[in-house]
Amino acid sequence: MISYPTPKINIGLHVLRRREDGFHDIETLFYPVDAFRDELEIVPSEKFSIEIEGADWDPQSDLTAKAWRLLAEERGIGPVAIRVKKGIPVGAGLGGGSSDCAFALKMLNELFSLGLSTVELEEYAAHLGADCAFFIRNIPQWGSGKGDILKPADIDLSAYRIRIELPEGVHVRTADAYKGLTPHEPAITLREAVTRPVSEWCDCVVNDFEDSVFPGHPGIAALKERMYADGAIFASMSGSGAAVFGIF
């Protein structure tokens, strides 16, 4: 069985407060895009194995491997061979690993005829990563809590073109992005801001991580400015970077 996980962008991202569990409460709009694709293959096997092409971490620590282990423990599924070919840029704030994880859960559900509901799959996904649950439905959704509390968002950008670019050789660690950040309540909530025309978003839709990331990574800031110079009506860094998207 093969699927093609796709990424997301964050349209606005407010970091509201630090939680007692060490995470942060956020407010964001997750929006699915099809600018890049991973290739994910899962087939039954005599023993578990995983192979990843285009990434340099331990495959056994990959979220797809964790997804299989979780369902093996909880639902007793058999071993599989997983192959991941990365097409979604790594460490870019596009959620590629989380997308792989969610797609793996859905594939395993089908492969082993588990009959898990969408809500049950979301619960498993949320257990594995903060934004993994978003990719189960893979539709525009408001994210709150640590990104795991989701509600459908009535927004459609199909009339626009979305361009995504990354500065060459630049990666941002999420932990480092949080270090330079001061959580705060915004003057205007993201939901209020997004109700305005897209042409006005540049005045009110904010990604708080830009304040902590741009000083140390001027190439990302320059890429955002280039988006506007090229005619974007709104541009922003996605997540904690390093990808920047422009809406044209």
Residues taking part in catalysis: 8, 131
Beta strands in the chain (DSSP E): 2-3, 8-18, 24-32, 39-44, 49-53, 80-85, 141-144, 149-152, 162-165, 234-237, 244-247
- Listed in sequence order, the residues at least 6 apart from 128 whose beta carbon sits closer than 8 Å to its beta carbon are 63, 66, 67, 70, 101
Backbone angles phi, psi at 201, to 5 degrees: -65, -30
* HEC per residue, 88-99: CCCCCCCCHHHH
